Structure 1
Amino acid sequence: MKKLSLLTGILVLFFMTSCRDIVNAVLDVLPPFDVPFSTNVDVPFASVSTTTYTRTPEIPMNIDLNAKIKENNPNFSINNLKSVKLNTLSLDYISSQLGNKLDVIKNARIYVKSPNQADRLIATAYNNTNPNTITFTLEDTEILEYFRTNQNSLIIEIQASRITADQIKMNMNAGFKIKVQL
C-alpha cells in the first residue's frame, strides 16, 4: 500500500510539473523579441594609471519598454514583462581628438542603472587589442527591474592599456531580449 501511494504521489508530481510547462508555453503568446539600442558616445578618456578603472558619465538609454511591447501586441503592457536580458553589446570606433583608437582600452565593464536599483554589471571585455571594435562577454543576468521605468542608463568603466588622455567617439550597439507573458 505504501508503494502504491508513493507511486501515485510521483505520478501526480510529474503530471503537475508537465502541466506547468504546458501552461507556460501557452502563456508565451507573444514570442520573445529584441529591443535594439544604438547611440554615439563621446567618452572623455584620461588615464594616469593602467591598473585602475575610470568610470564614464552615464549614457542615458531611456528605453520605454511599455511602448515597445505595445508595438508588438497592443493587448500587452509593461505589467506583462517577465524577462529582460542583454543579448548583444559592442563598441565601434568613430574618431578621437588625438588619434587614439579603441586599443587604448585594455579592459571595460558595462553596468546598467535605474532609479532605486543598485548598478548591475551586465558585460565585460578583457585584454582588448582591437583598435576598431570592442566585443563584450555578456553576463547572463536578469535585468527586468531596470526596465520597469524608462529612466535607465548604462555606465562604462575603462582600464587603459597605456597612460594617455583623449576624447574618443564610439558607437554603442546593444540589444535586449524581452519576454512577455499573460
Structure 2
Amino acid sequence: MKKLTLLTGMLFLFIVSSCRDVVNTVLDVLPPFDVPFSTTIEVPFAAVSTTSYTRAPELEMNIDLDAKIKEQNQNFSINNLKSVKLNALTVEYVSSQLGNKLDVIKNANLYIKSPNQPEKLIASVQNNTNPNSITFSSNDAELIDYFRTNKNSLIIEVMASRPSTDVIKMKLNTGFKIRVQL
C-alpha cells in the first residue's frame, strides 16, 4: 500500500510539473530571441595588478528592449518581458600599442549596471592563457530589472597574468536571451 501511495504521488508531481512547462510554452507570445551587443574597447595596462582587479571605464550599452520586442511583434512591449539572461560573452583581440595580447589577462569579471540597481556580476573567466580570444562563463543570473530601462552598462575588471604596460584594444561580443510572455 505504501508503494502505491508513493507511486501515485510521484505520478501526480510529474503531471503537475509537465503541465507547468506546457502552460509556460503557451504563454510565450514570441519564441525566445537573442539581442546582441558588440563594442570595441581599450583597456590600459599601466596600473593593472597581478594580485587584484583593475576596472576599465564603464561601457554604455543603452539597449532599448522595448524597441527590440516591438521589432519582433508590434503588439507587445517591455511590459511583456519575462526573462533576460546573458547568453554569450567573448572578447577578441584587435590590437595593442606594444604587442601584448589577451593572454596578459589572467582573470576577468563582467558586471552589469543600471539606475537604481546594484552592480551585478554576470560573467567571469579564470586562468586565461588564450592570446586571441577569451570566452567568459555566465552565472545564469536573471537580468530583467537591468533592462526595464534603456540606461544600462557593463563594467569589466581584469587581473593581469604578468606586469605589463600597454593599451589593448579588444572587441566585446555579448548576447542576451529574451523571453516575452502574456
TM-score, scaled to structure 2: 0.88
Question: What are the equivalent positions in structure 2 for 1:80-99 lying under 5 Å apart?
Answer: 80-99=80-99
1:172 aligned residue: 172
Q: Which amino acid aligns with 1:36?
A: P
Equivalent residues, number: 175
Residue segments in structure 1 that go unaligned for 5+ positions in a row? 1-8
CA distance in 2, matches of 1:61, 1:82: 20
Structure 2 CA distance for partners of 1:167 and 1:65, relative to 1, 3 Å: same
Q: Provide the C-alpha distance between the structure 1 equivalents of 2:167 and 2:139, rounded to a whole number of angstroms.
A: 28
What secondary structure, in the 3-state scheme, does the structure 2 residue paired with 1:46 have?
coil
3-state DSSP class of the match of 1:165?
A: coil
Q: Which residue of 2 aligns with 1:4?
A: none
* 1:35 and 2:35 are equivalent in the alignment: yes
Q: What SS does structure 2 have at the residue aligned with 1:164?
A: coil
CA RMSD of aligned residues (A): 2.1
How far did residue 142 of structure 1 move? 0.3
TM-score normalised by structure 1 residue count: 0.88
Question: Structure 2: which 5+ runs fail to align?
Answer: 1-8
Deviations 1:25-48 (A, max 9, x none): 211121100001111111122235
Opposite residue 33 of structure 1, the aligned amino acid is: F
Q: Deviations over 1:100-149 (max 9, x none)?
A: 11111000000011111111111111111111101111111001100001
- Return 38-47 or 130-139, whichever deviates more: 38-47
Contact 2:62–2:151 (Cα < 8 Å) also in 1: yes
**Is the Cα contact below 8 Å between 1:47 and 1:160 reproduced in 2?**
no
Aligned partners of 1:108, 1:16: CA distance in 2, in Å? Answer: 42
